[in-house]
Structure 1
Amino acid sequence: MKNIMTCIGIAKSYGSGDILEHVLKRVDLEFHEGQASVLVGPSGSGKTTLLSILGCLLAPSEGQLLITDQHVNFTDKSSLTEVRRQKLGFIFQHAQLLPFLTIEENLAIVGRNAGMMEEDIKQRLDGLLHRLELQAMRYKHPAQLSGGQRQRVAIARALLHRPSIVLADEPTAALDWNTGKTVVELLLEQARTEQAVLVVVTHDTRMLPLFDRILSIADGILSEQEQTAAAENIFYTQP
């Protein structure tokens, strides 16, 4: 499988001198096309820190991040912006939609920033709104939506431009089980159909059998466990 993203000795520390907190300790990891990974660990273990570095939102203290064999320059803001617009889809714990735009506008702007044609944007937008049952919200503003609806819009926004890397920080935390099922199915479909990397942070252990592998962080140290369970079985277990 083609390697899409690589961590080489990624570390993150805060503070200085004798007061130094090591949040991540030398992460070496590869992510391949079409591969779905779930990232688990206790609160404060470094999950969100690692996800933020992978999403080019936070610079590591040490190490290198490569995306499609290109070194990410964390000191070049314009380069980081271009990488995020073209190659990354990020789903935050909170939707972070632009409040002055409609739902359709919040989604369409992502496609335009990525250089998509207007007709392609419309087709992709229509499909995602239908899949996530958001058609009726199309012309509403974020303040008119529930928390769960806003999170579904955020998921559609992350997927709209068909990024090669999709990162999600607790994407189903605000959703009920059935809606969460739809969301996870869509994320996995994106990864496997588009041959994209998917990395999801979650505390919901019911999701673990869905993924190709489990990445676990404890005290800033990452370990990996191969995931072999059949993905489809989990959705027939009630919460």
Structure 2
Amino acid sequence: MFECMLLNLKDEFHVLHEPMGESYYFSKERVHRRFSEEQCQESGHEQHTYEKAWREVSEPHPTHRVFSKDMASYLIDLSKRPGTVAPSYQDAPTTANNPTLIPTNLLLQPHIRHTFLIRHPKRAVPSYERLCYPGAPTGFDYFDPSEMGYKESRLLFDFIKAETGEPPLVVEAEALLASPKDIAGRYCAEVGIDFREDMLEWSSETREHFKKWQGWHTDAEKSTGVGRRSSEGDADKDKKPKEDKPLSPELQKVVDDNMEDYEYLRSFAQR
């Protein structure tokens, strides 16, 4: 949904959707072993590398500003010690405290502004889990709590804060939904975007932009604005918000396990 706002500014922004994901899941450098060797070969992404993917993110576009939405977890391999770069960087120098697979001088280039969007675990965990089951349209046939990414987000946040001397900008999803004009306006002011209220609304249509990860972004594809869904959702706009459903003990544990990192990041969020 945040991407949809910037897709509205098509004359100003070139928007990338999770460009590091193929390297994380499918490449020969992959960190997560969710998919088999055969699935990786069939994906067409086996030759992806972290070096190529980050170059796509970080190289200035000839005519547009670049906005790249990604997961902090795609940049980090928790099994490796900090200061380890991806193989495609051929042991390029980095800093010993860098938790990511990207060399520090490339991760923190002066023209790049890192910002964070966080969502409460009690909503993010069940939202993710419901799309991970055998036969799921997403292709994720089991739920893996390690993919929630709160720990990696905190590690990346703290690294950037330590290196730059300033905490990165943090937006809380719930605050954005509750006060879209205020929060989006302040985000834009912080990163040098001319905010327009029409950024917050768009036509409902399937977007090619989201097709690389099938099944994950149905709500975003059907949405017509920040916090709004198309026709069927609009028909219910006067109803009270749905209450959170009770979680199974297993999912509640995943929520609880991520709360400390979430609350830490939330302490830096826009208010």
TM-score past 0.5 threshold: no
When normalised by structure 2's length, the TM-score is 0.28
When normalised by structure 1's length, the TM-score is 0.30
Higher strand share: 1
**RCO greater where, 1 or 2, for CA within 8 Å and sep 6 or more?**
1
Higher helix share: 2
